[in-house]
């Protein structure tokens, strides 16, 4: 019970205080009554209490894990695991162009992986080439994201390939 009371007080305090801090590892967007106003700079910032809300986005390198099991062009069932290392470079583009943010990025990554497998023959270099081509065609930069590396693991049998960009 006491935990809930503290949580409610802290939630209201965040809306009532005019100051907030943006750390080096994050970016922040300020919305006034639901409408985007500006990007906040790193350090101490000011907002209008109650009217302004702040949305924070981590800008550190992060990793998405995607797993896909599908058949290749020559009918071989392949189960692959992909690790995508990415970084958010523009919080505004990331927030407005990705819908539900990280959930959407994971869905996009899964879709690209499945598509690359379906259009390849069961050959590690063929899947690697198709995957590299599809990731390079996707407008990541327009969505505020930079891809640092892609690691593709073929789970059956286990092979590991590193595709650096």
User: Domain boundary at 43, 58, 73, which?
Assistant: 58
Same domain for 94 and 131? yes
Q: How confident is the model at residue 154 (pLDDT cuts 50, 70, 90)?
A: low
What's the pLDDT tens digit per position in 97-153? 765 555 567 777 777 777 777 777 666 667 777 777 777 777 777 777 888 877 777
Among the three residues 32, 58, 84, which one is the final residue of a domain in this structure? 58
Give whole-number Cα distances, 163 to 23, 67, 118, 122, 160, in Å.
31, 17, 19, 18, 10
Tell whether 154 and 87 lie within a shared domain: yes
This prediction's pTM: 0.67
Q: Residue 121 sits in which domain range? A: 62-164
The residue ranges of DSSP E strands in the chain, in sequence order, are 19-22, 26-32, 35-40, 43-46, 52-58, 62-71, 77-88, 145-155, 158-164
CATH of residue 83: 3.30.479.30
Helix (H, G, I), strand (E, B), or coil: what is residue 101? coil
Considering the domain architecture, whether residues 91 and 112 belong to the same structural domain is answered as yes
pLDDT digits (tens, 9 = 90+) for 58-100: 888 888 888 877 777 777 777 778 888 888 888 888 877 765 5
Cβ contacts of 21-25, under 8 Å, gap ≥ 24? 21/45, 22/56, 25/58, 25/59, 25/60
Q: Percentage of residues in the chain with pLDDT exceeding 90? A: 12
């Amino acid at each position: 019970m006491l935990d809930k009371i503290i949580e409610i007080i802290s939630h209201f305090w965040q809306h009532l205080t005019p100051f907030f801090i943006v750390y080096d590892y994050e970016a922040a967007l300020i919305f006034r009554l639901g409408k985007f106003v500006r990007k906040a700079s790193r350090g101490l910032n000011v907002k209008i209490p109650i009217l302004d809300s702040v949305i924070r986005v981590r800008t550190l390198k992060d990793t998405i894990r995607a797993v896909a099991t599908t058949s290749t062009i020559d009918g071989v069932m392949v189960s692959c695991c992909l690790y995508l290392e990415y970084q958010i470079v523009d919080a505004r583009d990331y927030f407005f162009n990705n819908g539900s943010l990280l959930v959407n990025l994971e869905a996009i990554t899964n879709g690209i992986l499945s598509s690359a497998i379906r259009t390849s023959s069961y050959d590690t270099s063929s899947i690697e080439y198709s995957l590299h081509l599809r990731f390079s065609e996707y407008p990541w930069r327009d969505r505020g994201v930079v891809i640092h590396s892609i690691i593709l693991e073929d789970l059956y049998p286990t092979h590991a390939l590193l595709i650096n960009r």
